[in-house]
């Protein structure tokens, strides 16, 4: 393609700048997403970073990646002749450029393979990411009564949280908040009233910041605080020792139970890895240990 001259718009230069700036956008949004809380926490408390929610950072990252890929391809097309020329000259040149190219390719393969196999030090990077997300969860005082509660409709939320629908509607309307319909999601109701889902739930419980509930009818039943299978909380990434602490079980007893099923385990082994060896979903590891007490 011929480069346009004079005062005309130079698309080749435009392409180069788009590749540069979109790369910067992808890098920045990727770094931001690394430090975000898990979605169920971020969405529940309306977490933001630099004024953007986690969903907005995700959209920023995805669209920036698409832009980078599209204009990256265009950039390659513009420079295709130069690339081919360079590749043709490699055999006639000294070995060094070929060695560097192979080394670069090998580095990428090692990183991708290391990530797939969860080998060190790549696993440490992801473990740090999990630790950051765990930190945010510990800092969150208002936990959702069920995972991703903000995505549930009023009827679904009330059913899973054990709250009567009529009590839910009355509590909100008595305080001057609007509820368009029982088919609206908790997120939609919170947005319509300019509050976060966690504020909405705290309001339902009659609290202004950690006080006791005023209405027992709006207190969720203990058995409905989760789905019993550990889903929605990074369950597979907790260790066997942490699971045993939750179950009130001696970790040595758990190791013996798993050994009887042909699985060698240890305290710091992740539940997901144990589940893979058993050929079951992670939440069933908890059931196996619970039923063998």
Q: Provide the residue ranges of all domains of the chain, joining segments of one domain with +.
A: 11-137, 149-224, 235-291
Q: How far apart are CA 177 and CA 174, in angstroms?
A: 7
The string of pLDDT tens digits covering residues 73-122 is 999 998 888 777 776 766 655 545 567 778 888 998 998 888 888 788 88
Q: How would you label 64-73 residue by residue, b for 16+ Cβ within 10 Å and e otherwise?
A: bbebbeebee
| Packed helices 54-78 and 80-89: angle between N→C axes, nearest 10 degrees | 70
- CA distances 172 to 36, 44, 45, 259, Å, are 30, 18, 18, 52
Element (H, E) at 48: strand 48-49
Share of the chain above pLDDT 90, in %: 14
Which residues share a beta bridge with 48?
Answer: 53
Given this model, what pLDDT does residue 274 score?
87
Given this model, what pLDDT does residue 217 score?
44
Q: How far apart are CA 91 and CA 103, in angstroms?
A: 17
Tokens, residue 51: 């004024």
H-only helix segments in the chain: 11-34, 39-45, 54-78, 80-89, 96-117, 122-139, 154-161, 165-174, 186-192, 197-204, 240-247, 251-260, 271-278, 282-291
Q: How far apart are CA 156 and CA 150, in angstroms?
A: 10
In contact, 251 and 241? CB cutoff 8 Å: yes
The string of pLDDT tens digits covering residues 128-162 is 888 888 888 777 766 677 667 788 888 888 877 77
Q: Is the pLDDT of residue 249 over 80?
A: yes
In contact, 228 and 284? CB cutoff 8 Å: no
Q: Is the pLDDT of residue 221 over 50?
A: no
Contacts of residue 195, Cβ cutoff 8 Å, sequence gap at least 6: 203
The string of pLDDT tens digits covering residues 155-202 is 888 877 777 888 888 878 877 787 877 788 888 888 888 888 888 777
Query: Is the entire prediction scored with pTM above 0.75?
Result: no
Q: Is the pLDDT of residue 208 over 80?
A: no
Distance of CA 97 to the CA centre of its chain: 40
Q: Is the pLDDT of residue 40 over 70?
A: yes
Given this model, what pLDDT does residue 98 score?
67
Which of 57-66, 89-98, 213-222, 281-290 is least confident? Answer: 213-222
Q: How far apart are CA 188 and CA 197, in angstroms?
A: 9
Q: Is the pLDDT of residue 214 over 90?
A: no
Given this model, what pLDDT does residue 33 score?
92
- Output phi, psi for 49, to 5 deg: -135, 120
Q: Which residue has the higher pLDDT, 241 or 145?
A: 241
Q: How far apart are CA 107 and CA 113, in angstroms?
A: 10
- pLDDT category at 276 given cuts 50, 70, 90 is confident
Does residue 126 have a cis bond before it (omega within 30 degrees)?
no
């Amino acid at each position: 393609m011929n480069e346009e001259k004079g005062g005309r718009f130079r698309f080749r230069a435009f392409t180069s700048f788009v590749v540069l700036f979109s790369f910067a956008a992808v890098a920045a949004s990727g770094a931001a997403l690394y430090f975000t809380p898990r979605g169920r926490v971020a969405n529940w408390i309306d977490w933001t970073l630099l004024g953007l929610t986690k969903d907005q950072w995700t959209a920023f990252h995805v669209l920036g990646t698409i832009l980078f890929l599209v204009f990256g391809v265009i950039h390659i097309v513009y420079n295709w002749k130069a690339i081919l020329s360079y590749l043709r000259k490699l055999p006639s040149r000294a070995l060094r450029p070929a060695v560097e190219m192979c080394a670069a390719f090998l580095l990428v393969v090692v990183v991708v393979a290391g990530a797939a196999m969860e080998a060190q030090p790549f696993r440490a990077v992801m473990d740090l990411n999990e630790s950051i997300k765990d930190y945010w969860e510990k800092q969150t005082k208002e936990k959702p009564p069920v995972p991703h509660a903000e995505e549930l409709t009023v009827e679904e939320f009330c059913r899973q949280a054990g709250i009567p629908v009529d009590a839910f509607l009355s509590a909100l309307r008595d305080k001057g908040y609007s509820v368009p319909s029982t088919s609206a999601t908790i997120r939609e109701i919170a947005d319509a009233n300019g509050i976060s889902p966690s504020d909405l739930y705290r309001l339902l419980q009659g609290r202004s910041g950690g006080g006791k509930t005023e209405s027992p009818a709006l207190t969720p039943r203990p058995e409905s605080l989760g789905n019993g299978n550990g889903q929605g909380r990074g369950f597979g990434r907790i260790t066997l020792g942490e699971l045993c602490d939750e179950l009130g079980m001696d970790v040595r007893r758990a190791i013996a139970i798993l050994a009887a099923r042909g699985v060698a385990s240890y305290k710091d082994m992740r539940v997901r890895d144990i589940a893979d060896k058993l050929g079951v979903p992670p939440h069933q590891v908890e059931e196996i240990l619970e039923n063998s007490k």
